[in-house]
Structure 1
């Protein structure tokens, strides 16, 4: 009898109780909100000092890829220990620094502040929509993962190529594709948490942070190209 009750209290797909799933989601949201603070700090320091202005072309790509993947490897290794949260926050600070070059460029426009606020509002809107969809969709979306991974890899290759080509049209196409792919990833990652497919809140936070970061960055780049007003 007890076994039957326990089974009924778990999700059919992953064997995780509703209470556990809600706890992971709650902890993820708290850590996600906290992770935005180092991002803002890193972006502010980067803009104020201009420390990332020299990171152009291949050098910038190497620093970004090396730092990002190094941090993500460290997060994966420490996600079940007390060091996991500080490493994640260090990663978000680094990402803020890397974002500062784009933010500095946009702030060079007369309406730069408005563009940044628009990108922030747009990203928040995407997150709200995806969170709402994740809570009402009953279908298992785990099959999306492999297709989204392929899309992200193709996008990464295209972005690397465009670093050296320097095509504005290519950048816009990549930004539009990134918004679509990472918005879908946002839905997928949220659904994984809600369905019990992701039980580590640090891993869940990392996934959602990357989704939000990429949507915001791509949206800001598009707004800068299409709506930037020079003095």
Structure 2
């Protein structure tokens, strides 16, 4: 009997060790995929901002405050009705396309969809290089990275159940979207300041919440051994953290960014 108990304890310990090792590999994939997505977004935003501007007045469609000019491409992206499509297309994809992609596509297809989404976000974010100094963008990115790392680490290690916080935070995101759309027409600096402050807090909370959720989902499904599901879940988790990071960065840029 004692030998049986020892064998059972040993087997349980081996399973636990295997899950722990698998969880570390899973989280590494989540953060790695997210990092590649952020790199794609940054490069796309920088490249598109460069392609959309010119220093030659003869090719100018509009002049910018920093002394450069928008060329024809820049005018189409930033000053025509196309800008609304560029602004809201990524949101529409998340709301209506991502779930279908997760259900129907392979893990490779989901990853490709994430990278295409990251490129589209780069297009919609490229205007920050026309408004803010490169130094303040880099500074804000560093501050965001430090804050994100601390929040994600807390979400991973805390014993507190954060699931109850998730519903409240998602409602906060919906409220932020509505407020942002309203402020597009009102153009209120005070309202934008309030939106930015609340946005930082909401996405800071979501960073911790999503990290814990990714960890919990892996532990709950690891025993099933469905590698395809786990691969897709890692990409889905990377998307959640990517969106949290990106939104924290944008809202912090409202406070820390120095305009050209």
TM-score bucket (shorter structure): 0.7 to 0.9
Cα RMSD over matched residues? 2.8
* Residue of structure 2 in register with 1:119 after alignment: 140
User: Does the CA contact (< 8 Å) of 1:152 and 1:181 recur in 2?
Assistant: yes
Q: Deviations over 1:51-106 (max 9, x none)?
A: 46544697634432233322664443334512111110010011011111123211
SS in structure 2 of the partner of residue 139 of structure 1: coil
Q: Deviations over 1:84-143 (max 9, x none)?
A: 11110010011011111123211xxxxx12211111111111112112212331111111
User: Does the CA contact (< 8 Å) of 2:183 and 2:192 recur in 1?
Assistant: yes
Structure 2 unmatched runs, 5+:
53-72, 220-229
SS in structure 1 of the partner of residue 163 of structure 2: coil
* Residue of structure 2 in register with 1:174 after alignment: 195
SS in structure 1 of the partner of residue 134 of structure 2: helix
* Residue of structure 1 in register with 2:114 after alignment: 88
Output aligned runs, 1:1-231, within 5 Å: 5=11, 9=15, 17-50=19-52, 51=73, 54-55=77-78, 60-70=83-93, 73-79=96-102, 81=106, 82-106=108-132, 112-196=133-217, 199=230, 200-224=233-257, 227-228=258-259
Normalised TM-score (structure 1): 0.82
Q: Distance in 1 between matches of 2:138 and 2:115?
A: 23
Q: Distance in 2 between matches of 1:100 and 1:175?
A: 19
Aligned positions, number: 217
SS in structure 2 of the partner of residue 140 of structure 1: coil
Q: Distance in 1 between matches of 2:85 and 2:131?
A: 20
